[in-house]
Amino acid sequence: MRIGIDLGGTKIEGIALDDDGRELLRKRVTTPAGDYPATLAAVAGLVQGIEQQTGWEGTVGVGTPGAVSRATGRLKNSNSVCLNGKSLGQDLGALLGRPVRLANDANCFALSEATDGAAAGAEIVFGVIIGTGTGGGIVVRGSVLEGANAIAGEWGHNPLPWPHDAERPGPACYCGRHGCIETFLSGPGLERDHAAATGQTLSAADIARHGQQGDEACNASLERYEERLARALAGVINLLDPDVIVLGGGLSNIARLYANVPRLWGGYVFSDRVDTRLAAAKYGDASGVRGAAWLWD
């Protein structure tokens, strides 16, 4: 049995998969905010609860925002800041009495979709999470590409490519720069762009829904969003040339992206034709936790 844990800022989700990848059960608890020892205990409790219910012992993989520093083994770049600087994998391993594998949550998402999801069987997969932020992960021939700095696939803080004059310098980003991809393509980025164009405050989900119902201003915001997503993904295609790009996160539910973005990205990809496929995540919100389980192959 494989156990996967998705350690997020608001909730911790656990899943148990049998040897064929079938889901045995899923449980979730609230993340103890800002409390590292309590977070460790909550993860351990979830694992123990799953093992009691199934009667089996499992391998444990954990996905979380941020990256494990190769130099120190400690977590960095996590938006759950109480985890940064901590030896999370080692501490959990000590609590659970077995080795624990830890990976970035977007890498887990990409691994899940590459293993038995929307990109199953593809050689090079880029998994993108477009939600509160913009994460990315790369899987090559079934394995997560970690990289020398453990940041492979992190495209959100590159500048939006081929910017128009009105997009320069672009919105301020929490990373300290302006015009990052994340400031345009995250949910808050779409909301900010729509508000700037219309003076109207709407959630990303409402912009998508109203656009679908024929609202012209919302439709225009979605068109700008699609054109920017096409540029940002064209930059990835030029560098990585993936077979499949899988979208996850809240904004991946916007159905029109899958027809419109590939129609637009050809204008920016350095190739006479683009065979890269853009696909919606097969497992939706469950992809991250499934990918954490798949960290043990």
* Residues contributing to the site for Zn ion (CB under 5 A): 157, 173, 175, 180
Could you tell me where the DSSP H helices lie in the chain?
36-54, 88-96, 105-116, 181-185, 187-198, 204-212, 216-240, 257-265, 287-293
Q: Are 149 and 71 in contact (CB under 8 A)?
A: no
Cβ closest to Zn ion, residue 134 vs residue 260 = 134
Read off the tokens for 178. 């302006």
Cβ closest to Zn ion, residue 157 vs residue 194 = 157
Three-class secondary structure of residue 260 per DSSP? helix
Cβ closest to Zn ion, residue 58 vs residue 133 = 133
The minimum distance between CB 151 and Zn ion, in angstroms, equals: 13
Beta partners for residue 4, in sequence order: 15, 61
Cβ closest to Zn ion, residue 111 vs residue 180 = 180
The minimum distance between CB 261 and Zn ion, in angstroms, equals: 22
The minimum distance between CB 158 and Zn ion, in angstroms, equals: 9
Query: What is the Cα 31 distance to its own chain's centre?
Result: 19
Q: What size, in residues, is the chain?
A: 297
The minimum distance between CB 108 and Zn ion, in angstroms, equals: 22
The whole-angstrom separation of Cα 246 and Cα 113 is 7
Cβ closest to Zn ion, residue 3 vs residue 251 = 251
The minimum distance between CB 65 and Zn ion, in angstroms, equals: 15
